[in-house]
A and B are shown apart, each in its own frame.
Chain A
Amino acid sequence: MTRDQFMRELKEALDGRLPESDIAEILADHSEFFEAGLAEGSTEEEVARQLGDPAKIALSLLQRERIQEGPHDALHAQRTRIPKADILMRLTAFVVDALVPALPFLWFAPRTGLVSFFFPHIVLAIVPSWLSTVRVSSHRWISAARGFWEVAILLSVLWFLMVNVVFLWASRGQTLGKWMFGLRVVDRAGGPAKPAQLAMREIVGKQALNALCSLIWLPLGFLPALASLVWCAVSPDGMTVWDAIAGTRVVDGKAARRRD
């Protein structure tokens, strides 16, 4: 095998399986091995033979990375070893996280804001009437800058829908409420949760599910949260409805670090 062949096969075997920067480093290292071998008078074929099969090299590197993330046989042990986050902390964090998205509404629609977590579709349904209020209002402040208030209302809705997801993405698993207590959303296996899982947890597991339930019958909007509270209290790893949907769980980051 020539050097070019070797490098190409190694790159193909690693592409998409490791971070770009790691792959670049691995390729540079192997390129250097060829340089060193050639400088000692070996041929490209001899160096390639000595280095081994690129596919197997890639495999041993990938295995190593996987071991760092937590090998499969250690999954169960890890799951039970990570302490369950305290239920009161979870509940308080939940209340904070349910209110933060409603912050922009609390001053002009406090009642809607307070229950917006359970009935998210009401917020969306009410937006047109807020907008038309802004357009026709003769209030001095509003009539002076109608465009500003329209934008403000739309931004508030965007905030309502996305603030927790954005927090989760930016901090790799923490919302404001969770950050206060050092809680973190992780993968079921204990590894970092994927961005798609975090979005799934908030948008499908909370907003869409609550909207669906409350559209069927308004009080049903409380059901997922109540079910989650009970489930979280009795299950050994503090499960909730939205964690089940997203394949995640919440851990006490501080307790996990103390254990290490």
Chain B
Amino acid sequence: MDAQMKKGVLEMCVLHLLAGGPMYGYELMKTVQEAFPDVYDGSVYAVLRRLHTDGCAETFFGETSGGPTRKYYRLTDAGRKRLSEALEEWRSLVAAVRHLKVPV
């Protein structure tokens, strides 16, 4: 996948997953990689770090049932805003592609 395109789409997907509730890093990474088998080598982690530094996601340490504490990621208001912007952009992109009758 083209790097720029991948970056944007990945970020949107990660934001969407986090909108469903807090997740820990490994869980997120596995979920995304199941859907995008050609995404690897830290791409999802890099997206997570960026979202965190941009203030779109915050982290907290939580315990798994019986397991050790893990770093969870949770969406902030800025993150929710970023998600709705990304979705809007994505929809208008898809609409434009459809308009040109590209078989998608």
Residues of A at the B interface (CB closer than 8 Å) are 26, 29-30, 32-33, 35-37, 39, 50-53, 56-61, 63-64, 68
What count of chain B residues pass the 8 Å CB interface test?
21
The main secondary structure of chain A at its interface with chain B is helix
Contact between B30 and A50, CB atoms less than 8 A apart: yes
With A29-B45, A32-B25, A60-B46 given, is the CB distance from A39 to B67 under 8 Å?
Answer: yes
Contact between B49 and A64, CB atoms less than 8 A apart: yes
Residues of B at the A interface (CB closer than 8 Å) are 24-27, 29-30, 33, 40-43, 45-46, 49-50, 53, 64, 67-68, 70-71
With A50-B40, A53-B41, A60-B41 given, is the CB distance from A33 to B46 under 8 Å?
Answer: no
The main secondary structure of chain B at its interface with chain A is helix
Which residues from chain A contact B45 at a C-beta distance below 8 Å?
A: 29-30, 57, 61
Minimum CB–CB distance from A42 to chain B (whole Å) comes to 10
Contact between B42 and A51, CB atoms less than 8 A apart: yes
Which residues from chain A contact B46 at a C-beta distance below 8 Å?
A: 57, 60-61, 63-64
Contact between B71 and A29, CB atoms less than 8 A apart: yes
**How long is the Cα–Cα vector from A26 to B64 in the complex, in angstroms?**
21
**How long is the Cα–Cα vector from A151 to B70 in the complex, in angstroms?**
58
**Pick from A39, A56, A68: contact of B42, CB under 8 Å:** A56
Contact between B33 and A50, CB atoms less than 8 A apart: yes
